[in-house]
């Protein structure tokens, strides 16, 4: 592999590294001596059940490289095709480690595909040491999960972290039980709260419906009472108008009746005066029987003074008094009935 003038030889060692093992570290050491720069590329999303996140795997590698003092090695993570990433960093080769024929067969197919995609990039395969021939990340995770000791097959930084993870795993079941109980209690409390909330909501809806019904009834009662009050007011106004009309009609009829009585009384007085003028001898010498008593009764009823001025011609005192009482200034409407006017005999009697 020739050195290009003005360019460093850059190689990329890609993989999932979940977690990094002594086999990975052995390949990284050897590749760092072959190239000017080695980039350990941590693939972020492999199709595996991951124990560590991409950032955690990068951090583990940084601790390993710092402990090994590999100055020309840097750690990065990527998500695209390996050949595309190598091309983006201007790498010359892809580093692969081979442990068994099975690894060779898989890497052989993948190398042919990479050469098809990027002919300028070479695939460099390094054989693992015998002591790491059976070491793989997936196998070590399974053994550690079952309680096996795998510390001597991992870099110290990884062994320390994996021990912590194993300790956490042993205490996690109890924590999980507690968490499950807490979750169950939470679910029970939530279910009870939902039931209580549903009950309260139903009660609130019932109260709201009853309140609405009461409001409707009160509104209807108020409207009905207003209608009753308006009807009573209208009826009272009608009764008042009818009473006023009746009183006005009665007063009008009474005025008409009094006017007719006044006319009749006036005519009667004229008839009496004419009759008195035609009487022979004068009433002072031969008074008419019954007239004197009737005139005295009328005089007493109206409480007129005894001395009344005499008419222009000579008329007996009592006749003049009767005239003044029935038609004079002291006459009041309705004070003399028609029967009281029938006091004269013969043609002088009122019809």
Helix residue ranges, H only, the chain: 22-34, 54-68, 82-88, 101-117, 137-145, 156-278, 291-302, 317-327, 338-341
**The pair of three-digit structure tokens given for residue 12, joined into one six-digit string:** 């990329």
| Cβ atoms of residues 39 and 17 within 8 Å | no
Q: Which one is catalytic: 29, 99, 160, 317?
A: 99
Determine which one of 57, 82, 137, 141 is catalytic: 137
Cβ neighbours around 105 below 10 Å, total: 10
Q: Assess contact for 325 and 302: CB atoms under 8 A.
A: yes
Task: Report residue 329 CA to chain centroid gap.
Answer: 89
Q: Say how far apart CA 304 and CA 287 lie, in whole Å.
A: 21
- Say whether 208 is catalytic: no
Rounded alpha-carbon distances, angstroms, from residue 325 to 17, 220, 255, 295, 328: 149, 70, 21, 9, 6
Residues 344 and 263: their CA atoms lie apart, in Å, by 19
Burial 112-147 (b: 16+ CB within 10 A, else e): eebeeebeebbbbebebeeebeebbbeebbeebeee
Other residues' Cβ atoms within 10 Å of the Cβ of residue 46: 13
CB 39, CB 9: distance < 8 Å: no
Backbone angles phi, psi at 221, to 5 degrees: -65, -40
Name the helix (H) or strand (E) containing 126: strand 122-127
Catalytic residue among 7, 8, 48, 267: 48
Q: Is 198 a catalytic residue?
A: no
Annotation says 141 is catalytic: no
DSSP state of 131: G
Tokens 């009281």 -> residue: 340
28 pairs with which residues across the strands? none
| 24 classed as catalytic | yes
User: Which residue among 24, 96, 141, 318 is the active-site one?
Assistant: 24
Catalytic residue set: 24, 48, 99, 137
């Amino acid at each position: 592999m020739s050195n290009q003038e003005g360019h460093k030889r850059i190689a990329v060692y890609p993989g999932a590294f979940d977690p990094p093992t002594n086999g990975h570290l052995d390949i990284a050491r050897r590749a760092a001596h072959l190239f000017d720069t080695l980039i350990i590329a941590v693939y972020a999303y492999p199709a595996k059940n991951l124990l560590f996140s991409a950032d955690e795997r990068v951090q583990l590698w940084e601790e390993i490289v710092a402990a090994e003092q590999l100055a020309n090695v840097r750690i990065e993570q990527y998500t695209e095709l390996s050949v595309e990433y190598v091309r983006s960093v201007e790498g010359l080769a892809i580093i692969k480690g081979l442990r068994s024929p099975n690894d060779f067969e898989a890497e052989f197919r993948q190398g042919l595909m990479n050469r098809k995609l990027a002919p300028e990039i070479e695939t460099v395969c390094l054989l693992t040491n015998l002591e790491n021939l059976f070491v793989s990340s997936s196998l070590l995770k399974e053994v550690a999960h079952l309680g096996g000791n795998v510390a001597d097959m991992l870099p110290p930084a990884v062994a320390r972290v994996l021990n912590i993870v194993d300790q956490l795993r042993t205490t996690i079941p109890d924590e999980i039980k507690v968490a499950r109980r807490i979750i169950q209690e939470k679910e029970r409390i939530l279910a009870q709260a939902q039931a209580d909330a549903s009950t309260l909501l139903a009660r609130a809806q019932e109260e709201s419906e009853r309140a609405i019904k009461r409001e409707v009834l009160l509104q209807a009662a108020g409207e009905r009472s207003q209608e009753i009050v308006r009807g009573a007011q209208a009826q009272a106004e009608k009764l008042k108008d009818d009473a006023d009309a009746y009183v006005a009609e009665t007063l009008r009829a009474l005025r008409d009746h009094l006017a007719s009585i006044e006319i009749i009384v006036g005519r009667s007085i004229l008839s009496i005066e004419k009759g008195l003028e035609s009487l022979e001898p004068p009433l002072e010498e031969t008074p008419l029987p019954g007239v004197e008593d009737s005139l005295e009764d009328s005089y007493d009823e109206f409480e007129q003074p005894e001395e009344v001025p005499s008419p222009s011609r000579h008329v007996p005192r009592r006749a003049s008094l009767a005239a003044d009482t029935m038609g004079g200034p002291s006459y009041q409407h309705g004070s003399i009935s028609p029967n009281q006017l029938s006091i004269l005999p013969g043609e002088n009697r009122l019809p």
